[in-house]
């Protein structure tokens, strides 16, 4: 790595090397039984340079082929954007625990056992369900060095436990699923199985939805599938800088319901999306995004922050090219209302667990529209069954402007969102 930096410095004014090495072992189950064990090793090095005042970028899986990497970066630098930022000098990083050595002591046999237990719990509840499951463990190491002496490195462990079940009766299909992840080994499949069993219970009966405006409760998974995609784009500093965020010029203003609090937090110990620094070596911080319904901040990497005349929030993230702003983990603060209280409050309404296709609309404008893949009908304060062939449409900014209640219990969904239930007074529902 030092050699790459040294050689790059001979061709460029500034240089930064970012290296990731990972080992991952997914154990996969299909049709309720063990099917596939994989082992994946990967190494990649990315080089960012400033040459004659312009940014160049190249990456490789062969870090020893230094000349090729440097040449590729130099070739792109004749067209690159001028950097508006300085690479970070040496800084101290917060102590954030993201590596648990216990991961390494979990054997493949133990992972097989966990997957089998998980499937057995679900199939003993519903014998004719067909499950796919995956138990994954992995370790990733990150290293950054730059020509200003900045350097960072850390190691992360990841463990995941997930299951998806399909229940087919005639041409009627029901899909249920749950997944959990942590930097610790997850050795209690029961909590995952229980979530799936609860879905199966609620979906036992069928109910029909009318075509009209109805109150809707989004479960944590529902919040993640319907509402989060728009918020992620809107709070991205790059969207704001381009003037394409509907809330970009409303910093400090009340845009959402005063009950709503949202922040980005990469500092929570042993969470897979936590880290001591971002992919540019900027120390991690907790960044408030919505405080009491008011827009508090946007998320920035170095370049976007410089162009916007502000500071990086430590959200520089690499997805195969130059760093760009991206949330680490989005947290919505829990409220005061239990799920039972929300349900009791509804005369006729829906609970949305999975909205399929919600991210395909105009998410920049906050519009979402999707098929209720998993959702339930509420009648006179009771959950009466599953709804199908139903579309729910709305706009995130309208929905979150007036929230009836926020749930008192929050949970992790999809590894990077921690949210309670959100209860909204009225959404457009269309059904066959």
For residue 171, the surrounding DSSP H or E stretch is none
Q: What is the CA radius of gyration of the chain?
A: 24
Which member of 168, 205, 210, 252 binds another protein (CB under 8 A)?
168
Q: Which residues in the 246-275 window bind another protein by CB under 8 A?
A: 246-247
Secondary structure of residue 14 in the 3-state scheme: strand
Which member of 3, 6, 13, 37 binds another protein (CB under 8 A)?
37
Do 369 and 357 touch, CB atoms closer than 8 A? yes
CB of 118 to another protein, least distance (A): 17
CB of 410 to another protein, least distance (A): 27
Secondary structure of residue 212 in the 3-state scheme: strand
How far is it, in rounded angstroms, from Cα 57 to Cα 61? 14
Which member of 39, 52, 89, 254 binds another protein (CB under 8 A)?
39
Please count the residues of this chain forming the interface with another protein, following the rule CB under 8 A: 81
Per-residue binder mask for another protein (CB under 8 A), 116-155, x = binder: ------------x-x-------------------------
> CA-based diameter of the chain, in Å?
73
- Report DSSP letters for 229-253, one per residue: HHHHHHTBHHHHHTT--TTTT-BTS
Cβ proximity to another protein: between 201 and 242 the closer is: 242
Per-residue binder mask for another protein (CB under 8 A), 307-326, x = binder: -------------xxx----
Backbone angles phi, psi at 298, to 5 degrees: -125, 165
Q: Which residues in the 364-383 window bind another protein by CB under 8 A?
A: 364-367, 369-371, 373
For residue 388, count other CB atoms closer than 10 A to its CB.
Answer: 20
Cβ proximity to another protein: between 3 and 211 the closer is: 211
Do 403 and 342 touch, CB atoms closer than 8 A? no
Cβ proximity to another protein: between 205 and 360 the closer is: 360
* Number of residues written out for the chain: 432
How far is it, in rounded angstroms, from Cα 339 to Cα 407? 6
Part of the chain binding another protein (CB under 8 A), chosen from 11-19, 32-40, 98-106, 412-420: 32-40
Q: Which of 429, 421, 423 shows the shortest CA–CA distance to 388?
A: 429
Do 262 and 323 touch, CB atoms closer than 8 A? no
Part of the chain binding another protein (CB under 8 A), chosen from 10-18, 106-114, 216-224, 399-407: 106-114
CB of 209 to another protein, least distance (A): 12
CB of 54 to another protein, least distance (A): 9
Cβ proximity to another protein: between 58 and 299 the closer is: 58
């Amino acid at each position: 790595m030092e050699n790459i930096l040294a050689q790059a410095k001979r061709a460029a004014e500034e240089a930064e090397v970012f290296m990731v090495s990972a080992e991952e072992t997914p154990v996969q189950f299909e049709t309720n039984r063990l099917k596939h064990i994989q082992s994946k090793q990967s190494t990649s090095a990315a080089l960012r340079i400033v040459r004659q005042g312009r940014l160049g970028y190249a990456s490789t899986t062969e870090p020893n082929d230094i000349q090729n990497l440097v040449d590729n970066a130099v070739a792109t630098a004749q067209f690159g954007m001028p950097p508006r930022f300085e690479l970070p000098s040496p800084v101290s990083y917060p102590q954030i625990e993201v590596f648990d050595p216990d991961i390494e002591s979990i054997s493949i046999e133990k992972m097989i056992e966990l997957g089998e237990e998980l499937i057995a719990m679900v199939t003993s509840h519903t014998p004719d369900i067909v499950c796919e499951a995956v138990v994954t463990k992995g370790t990733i190491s990150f290293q950054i060095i730059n020509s200003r002496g900045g350097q960072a490195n850390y190691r992360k462990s990841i463990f995941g436990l997930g299951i998806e079940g399909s229940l087919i009766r005639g041409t009627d299909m029901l899909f249920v699923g749950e997944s959990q992840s942590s930097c610790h080994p997850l050795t209690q499949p029961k909590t995952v199985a229980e979530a799936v069993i609860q879905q199966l219970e609620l979906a036992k009966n069928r109910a029909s939805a009318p075509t009209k405006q109805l109150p809707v409760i989004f479960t944590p998974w529902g919040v993640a599938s319907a509402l989060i995609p728009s918020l992620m784009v809107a709070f991205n500093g790059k969207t704001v800088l381009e003037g394409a965020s509907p809330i970009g010029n409303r910093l400090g203003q009340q845009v959402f319901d005063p009950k709503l609090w949202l922040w980005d937090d990469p500092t929570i110990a042993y969470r897979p999306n936590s880290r001591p620094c971002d992919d540019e070596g900027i120390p991690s911080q907790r960044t408030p995004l919505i405080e009491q319904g008011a827009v508090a901040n946007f998320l920035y990497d170095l370049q976007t922050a410089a162009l916007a005349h502000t500071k990086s929030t430590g959200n520089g993230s690499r997805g195969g090219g130059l760093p760009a702003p991206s949330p680490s983990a989005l947290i919505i603060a829990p409220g005061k209302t239990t799920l039972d209280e929300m349900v009791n409050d509804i005369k006729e309404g829906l609970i949305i667990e999975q909205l399929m296709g919600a991210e395909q609309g105009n998410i920049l404008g906050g519009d979402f529209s999707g098929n209720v893949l998993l959702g339930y009908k509420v009648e006179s304060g009771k959950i009466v069954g599953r709804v199908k062939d139903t579309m729910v449409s709305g706009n995130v900014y309208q929905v979150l402007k007036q929230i009836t209640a926020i749930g008192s219990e929050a949970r992790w969904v999809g590894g990077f969102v921690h949210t309670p239930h959100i209860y909204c007074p009225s959404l457009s529902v269309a059904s066959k």
